[in-house]
């Protein structure tokens, strides 16, 4: 699955290349993951709840974004928050006439703000947003999970977290409460940026080094397929979904990377001497 | 610093920037921007070009003074006068009356000067850079003398030398003073210590809850007993479950979280950028060359405003929020710093990372002429 989109606002133009892949895994019979990779919106939702409830929950999130966000333009941050809130309402409604269902959501969107484009990352639950700079993989999102809270408290180490019995317990989800708060990041669009969005079926099977190795070798579309294949091969205990999106942004503005050192007073005076009339 | 006498109904405008002062009669307001741009350019010849661009007969009456050097260079045309007081105490008056073009004079050792087109006595207001409807403009930009007309106009007991300003201030500062408004720029000198001290309390006080703190989630509750929902087999089957006690956990958090900041003071507070656009302060605003925010919780996402065209501005330079109806400015550890110029106060550099409350009318200066005005409708 390969997608290319070009978006622009003000002085920034960005072209997006994306790929997505999903697999039921080696153990499960139903794939409860959903994803969206189109236009300005890229997301992964990992549904939970028996009897296909998780399936429907993650699809409700996808549908909420599809119906509310225009495909061709950059969204706004409030539109994204609105779609998340609407998704929460949809999943709550699902639970009313069926088993309790919920879903995670991890995504990035190109949003327009004050005449420029930004990456907005958002997360609820334990699906992940990773940033890849061509060399290093960095986890941008912070899991809403029991294990993450133990980690934050220093009660367990990263190594202990990987095998902790409660590592499937999440503390925030779409559909869990009447109102849901996403964690949000806003990043300037500069040069080449790559994001990986994935369900925990991928991040629990592959370590960061392995993920980075696959990302560095392939274009986004191939990388998504290769990542899912590698996670399934490594065990595939859960549904595995990956969305990889890469942006190449060009700004006609000034140098965004480096802050200039202001000239000292004397240097300024040397340069600013006016001609005497 | 210049002082002017506001005159709301006047066709005359005082336009000043750096060392250039222009008093011009302007029936057609559309040229004001051109005039200000020319004055802002710093070259007196450019200003003359702009004034005379439609020919001598269409040139408005004006008085123009360049005081950048020790010798003041002045032009005056039509029914107005320029009076220059030299350091020796002598006064030289130049008038445009009876001349079909203009009068040009050089005055050595100029200490101060007054541009007058028939003023009415009101209170003189300060002006560092900007445009105001006015028929009278004065400069005490060098050492003030007792003859300085500002002295008699101002309630201040004495006129001290102008404040020692950071290098980029205020010469690079651009503000447009509304004709009737109160001062937009410092009226007190830096040496006016007793008075400053009173206000410093207002401007330097750090508020208890920093914006950064507010944006970060409260420390996580330690789930003492993470109560698994399902019986887990020996090893993990990868199934994600939502913990039973999540609701309790969340409820616990809600109590800790301070009540969501009400849309305080209404949406009327705004930040006016240099190009005239207004950013409402209903949500936090982060300004910089390439701003970003990290892990904020859903409800109150900051708005990012990119300031282009100046490499001296840091990627995340300054944050402006409204807390309890008060505008709070925080320098985000910018490389070159942020100054705030409260109404009637000298510029004050913000301590990096420290939230500082400011008044409406305050100018936030990021250096090199990048200024923001805190306004209220």
DSSP string, B98-132: T-SS-EEEEEETEEEEEEESS------EEESSEEE
Please report how the helices A208-217 and A220-233 are oriented relative to each other, as an axis angle in degrees rounded to 10: 140
Q: What local confidence, expressed as pLDDT, does residue B242 receive?
A: 62
Report whether A129 contacts A136 (CB < 8 A). Answer: no
- Chain B residue numbers touching A118 (CB-CB < 8 A): 292, 304
Please report how the helices A77-96 and A53-68 are oriented relative to each other, as an axis angle in degrees rounded to 10: 150
Q: Which helix (H) or strand (E) holds B338?
A: none
Nearest Cα residue to A22 out of A194, A198, A143: A198
Indicate if the pLDDT at residue A51 is higher than 70: no
> Does A156 contact chain B (CB < 8 Å)?
no
- Chain B residue numbers touching A84 (CB-CB < 8 A): 298
- CA pair distance B342, B204, nearest whole angstrom: 12
Q: Which of A177, A185, A186 sits opposite B247 (nearest CB)?
A: A177
Q: Select the more confidently predicted residue: B249 or A156.
A: A156
User: How would residue A64 be classed by pLDDT, with cut points 50, 70 and 90?
Assistant: very high
Q: Select the more confidently predicted residue: A217 or B177.
A: A217
Identify which of A162-166, A204-208, B70-74 has the greatest average pLDDT: A204-208
For A85, the closest chain B residue by CA position comes to: B298
Q: Select the more confidently predicted residue: B269 or B237.
A: B269
Chain A with chain B: Cβ pairs closer than 8 A = 179
- Which A residues in the span 24-53 are in contact with B, Cβ-Cβ below 8 Å? 25, 27-28, 46, 48
Nearest-CA distance A117 → chain B (Å): 10
The one-character DSSP state at B268 is G
Q: Which of B228, B241, B292 sits opposite A48 (nearest CB)?
A: B241
Instruction: Return the residue in A259, A261, A263, A264 with the most chain B beta carbons within 10 A, the one to mutate for interface testing.
Output: A259
Instruction: Return the residue in B220, B242, B299, B300 with the most chain A beta carbons within 10 A, the one to mutate for interface testing.
Output: B242
CB count within 10 Å of CB B57 equals 6
Report whether A36 contacts A25 (CB < 8 A). Answer: no
Indicate if the pLDDT at residue B165 is higher than 70: no
User: How would residue B59 be classed by pLDDT, with cut points 50, 70 and 90?
Assistant: confident
Strand partners, B327: B322, B358
Nearest Cα residue to A6 out of A192, A249, A252, A186: A249
Backbone angles phi, psi at B229, to 5 degrees: -80, -40
Interchain contact, B222 vs A102, CB within 8 Å: no
Nearest Cα residue to B104 out of A76, A277, A6, A264: A277
Q: Is the pTM of this model over 0.90?
A: no
Interchain contact, B42 vs A260, CB within 8 Å: no
Q: What local confidence, expressed as pLDDT, does residue B141 receive?
A: 44
User: How would residue B219 be classed by pLDDT, with cut points 50, 70 and 90?
Assistant: very low
Instruction: Return the residue in A181, A199, A200, A267 with the most chain B beta carbons within 10 A, the one to mutate for interface testing.
Output: A181
Q: What local confidence, expressed as pLDDT, does residue B283 receive?
A: 87
> Does A19 contact chain B (CB < 8 Å)?
no
> Does A76 contact chain B (CB < 8 Å)?
no
The tokens of B224 are what? 């003492």
Judged by average pLDDT, the poorest of A198-202, B87-91, B193-197, B289-293 is B193-197
For A114, the closest chain B residue by CA position comes to: B305
- Chain B residue numbers touching A108 (CB-CB < 8 A): none
Sign of CA dihedral A62, A66, A72, A73: negative
Judged by average pLDDT, the poorest of A115-124, B126-135, B183-192 is B183-192
Nearest Cα residue to B283 out of B264, B258, B311: B264
- Chain B residue numbers touching A193 (CB-CB < 8 A): none
Q: Which of A104, A165, A262 sits opposite B312 (nearest CB)?
A: A262
- CA pair distance A251, A190, nearest whole angstrom: 8
> Does A169 contact chain B (CB < 8 Å)?
yes
Nearest-CA distance A6 → chain B (Å): 21
The one-character DSSP state at B267 is G
Sign of CA dihedral B297, B280, B37, B363: negative
The tokens of A160 are what? 């202990």
């Amino acid at each position: 699955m390969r997608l290319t989109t070009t978006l622009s606002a003000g002085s920034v133009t960005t072209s997006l290349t994306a790929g997505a892949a999903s697999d039921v895994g080696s153990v499960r019979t139903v794939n409860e993951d959903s994803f969206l990779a189109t236009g300005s919106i890229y997301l992964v939702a990992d549904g939970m709840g028996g009897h296909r409830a998780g399936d429907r929950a993650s699809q409700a999130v996808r549908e909420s974004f599809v119906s509310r966000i225009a495909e061709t333009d950059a969204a706004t941050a409030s539109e994204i928050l609105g779609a998340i809130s609407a998704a929460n309402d949809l999943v709550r409604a699902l639970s009313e006439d069926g088993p309790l269902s919920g879903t995670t959501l991890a995504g990035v969107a190109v949003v327009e703000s004050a005449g420029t484009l930004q990456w907005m990352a958002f997360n609820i639950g334990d699906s992940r947003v990773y940033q890849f700079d061509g060399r290093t993989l960095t986890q941008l999102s912070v899991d809403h999970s029991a294990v993450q809270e133990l980690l934050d408290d220093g009660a367990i180490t990263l190594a202990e977290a990987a095998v902790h019995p409660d590592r499937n317990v999440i503390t925030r989800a779409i559909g869990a409460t009447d109102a849901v708060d996403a964690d949000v990041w806003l990043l300037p669009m500069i040069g080449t940026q790559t994001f990986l969005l994935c369900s925990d079926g991928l991040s629990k099977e592959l370590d960061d080094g392995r993920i980075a190795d696959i990302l560095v070798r392939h274009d986004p579309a191939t990388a998504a397929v290769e990542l899912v294949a590698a996670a399934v091969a490594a065990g595939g205990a859960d549904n595995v979904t990956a969305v990889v999106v890469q942006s190449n942004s060009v700004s006609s503005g000034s140098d965004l990377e480096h802050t200039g050192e202001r000239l000292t007073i004397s240097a300024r005076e040397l340069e600013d001497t006016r001609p005497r009339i | 610093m210049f002082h002017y006498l506001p005159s709301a109904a006047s066709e005359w405008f005082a336009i000043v920037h750096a060392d250039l002062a222009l008093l011009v009669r302007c029936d057609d307001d559309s040229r004001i921007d051109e005039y200000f741009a020319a004055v802002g350019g710093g070259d007196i010849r450019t200003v003359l070009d702009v004034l005379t661009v439609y020919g001598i007969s269409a040139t408005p009456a004006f008085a123009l003074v360049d005081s950048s050097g020790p010798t003041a260079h002045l032009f005056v045309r039509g029914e107005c006068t320029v009076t220059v007081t030299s350091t020796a105490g002598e006064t030289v008056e130049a008038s445009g009356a009876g001349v079909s073009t203009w009068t040009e004079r050089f005055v050595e050792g100029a200490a101060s000067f007054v541009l007058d087109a028939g003023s009415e006595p009101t209170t003189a207001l300060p002006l560092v850079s900007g445009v105001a409807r006015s028929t009278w403009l004065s400069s005490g930009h060098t050492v003030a003398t007792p003859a300085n007309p500002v002295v008699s106009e101002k309630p201040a007991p004495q006129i001290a030398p102008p404040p020692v300003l950071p290098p980029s201030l205020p010469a690079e500062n651009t503000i447009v003073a509304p004709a009737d408004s109160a001062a937009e720029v410092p009226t007190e000198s830096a040496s006016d210590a007793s008075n400053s001290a009173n206000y410093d309390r207002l401007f330097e006080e750090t508020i208890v809850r920093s914006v950064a703190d507010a944006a970060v989630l409260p420390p996580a509750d330690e789930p003492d007993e993470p109560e698994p929902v399902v019986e887990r087999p020996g090893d993990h089957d990868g199934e994600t479950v939502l913990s039973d006690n999540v609701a309790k956990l969340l409820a616990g958090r809600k109590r800790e979280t301070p009540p969501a900041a009400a849309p305080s003071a209404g949406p009327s507070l705004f930040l006016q950028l240099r190009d005239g656009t207004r950013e409402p302060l209903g949500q936090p605003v982060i300004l910089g060359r390439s701003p970003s925010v990290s892990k904020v919780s859903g409800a109150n996402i900051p708005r990012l405003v990119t300031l282009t065209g100046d490499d001296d501005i840091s990627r995340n330079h300054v944050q402006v929020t409204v807390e309890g109806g008060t505008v709070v400015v925080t320098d985000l550890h910018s490389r070159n710093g942020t100054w705030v110029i409260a109404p009637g106060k000298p510029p004050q550099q913000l301590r990096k990372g420290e939230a500082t409350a400011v008044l409406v009318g305050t100018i936030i200066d990021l250096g090199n002429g990048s200024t923001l005005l805190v306004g209220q409708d």
